[in-house]
């Protein structure tokens, strides 16, 4: 995976320099920007990392930058920093998806902890999406008849019940079941059910109609 970048956006040059120094002192890669526009122009959509974003800046303020990031599809976790954090701004920031809000002057360890948590959450999200992509590829490889057998099985129907629904023999259902397990790389039926739930194909609370 590419090295995570902590983007620091702050119009206060002194604060910007000290924040970058702090991040680099613990081995993090940091990039500094003195305006929201400069950051947006330089930040690629598929970058990996997080953003330390000042709320109050000339031109585009932090909340406006956050909105533009969402519009452009830049899915970086946002940590807002501000020396004037009033309640309505904090509420608006969190409603828009901020992961944390740190007041200036900030405690260095608290800021570093917030950054590490944001980076960790991003990595977990990436791993989850990667795993879901592999699962969707396996599902797409199922034949129509394999899918016909797969869905009733993960909803809790027995092979005999599936055979009656599809008007085929139990032996044929068992054959397709074995093929589905192999294609989906599932060792057990509960594994298969878990995959169906993860893919959003079944509701875990309503697997089989009563």
Kindly report, residue by residue over 182-208, the tens digit of the pLDDT. Answer: 888 888 777 788 788 777 776 655 555
Does 202 or 175 have the greater pLDDT score?
Answer: 175
Whether residue 205 is contained in a domain is answered as: no
> What is the residue-averaged pLDDT of the chain?
83
Whether residue 204 is contained in a domain is answered as: no
Tokens of 21: 């120094």
Whether residue 203 is contained in a domain is answered as: no
Sequence-separated (6 or more) residues with CB below 8 Å from residue 77: 50, 51, 99, 118, 119, 121, 122
- Give the CATH number, domain containing residue 147: 1.10.10.10
Task: Give the integer Cα–Cα distance in Å for 137 and 118.
Answer: 29
Instruction: With CA atoms as reference, report the closest residue to 63 among 45, 88, 41.
Output: 88
pLDDT, residue 194, reads 79
Lowest mean pLDDT among 8-12, 17-21, 75-79, 85-89: 85-89
Lowest mean pLDDT among 29-38, 56-65, 136-145, 194-203: 194-203
Domain's final residue, options 78, 96, 131? 131
- Give the CATH number, domain containing residue 110: 3.40.50.2300
167 shares its domain with 125 = no
pTM for the whole structure: 0.58
66 shares its domain with 146 = no
Whether residue 21 is contained in a domain is answered as: yes
16 shares its domain with 117 = yes
Please say whether the beta carbons of 37 and 14 come within 8 A.
no
CA triplet 127, 69, 100: central angle to 5 degrees? 70
Give the domain range for residue 186. 141-198
User: How would residue 210 be classed by pLDDT, with cut points 50, 70 and 90?
Assistant: very low
Sequence-separated (6 or more) residues with CB below 8 Å from residue 7: 30, 31, 33, 39, 43, 49, 50, 51, 52, 76
Mean pLDDT of 82-94: 75
Whether residue 209 is contained in a domain is answered as: no
């Amino acid at each position: 995976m590419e090295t995570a970048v902590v983007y620091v956006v702050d119009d206060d040059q002194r604060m910007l320099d000290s924040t970058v120094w702090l991040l680099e002192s613990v081995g993090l890669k940091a990039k500094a920007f003195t305006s929201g526009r400069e950051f947006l122009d330089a930040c690629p959509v598929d970058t990996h990392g997080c953003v330390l974003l000042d709320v109050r800046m000339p031109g585009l303020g932090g909340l406006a930058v956050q909105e533009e990031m969402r519009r452009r599809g830049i899915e970086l976790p946002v940590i807002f920093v501000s020396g004037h954090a009033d309640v309505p701004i904090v509420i608006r920031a969190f409603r828009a998806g901020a992961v944390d809000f740190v007041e200036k002057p900030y405690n260095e360890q608290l800021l570093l902890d917030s950054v590490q948590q944001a980076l960790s959450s991003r990595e977990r999200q990436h791993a989850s999406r990667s795993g879901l992509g592999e699962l969707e590829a396996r599902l797409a490889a199922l034949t129509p008849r394999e899918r016909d057998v797969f869905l009733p099985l993960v909803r809790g129907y027995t092979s005999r019940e599936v055979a009656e629904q599809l008007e085929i023999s139990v032996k044929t259902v068992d054959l397709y079941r074995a093929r589905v397990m192999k294609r989906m790389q599932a060792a057990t039926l509960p594994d298969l059910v878990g995959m169906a739930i993860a893919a959003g194909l079944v509701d875990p609370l309503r697997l089989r109609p009563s």
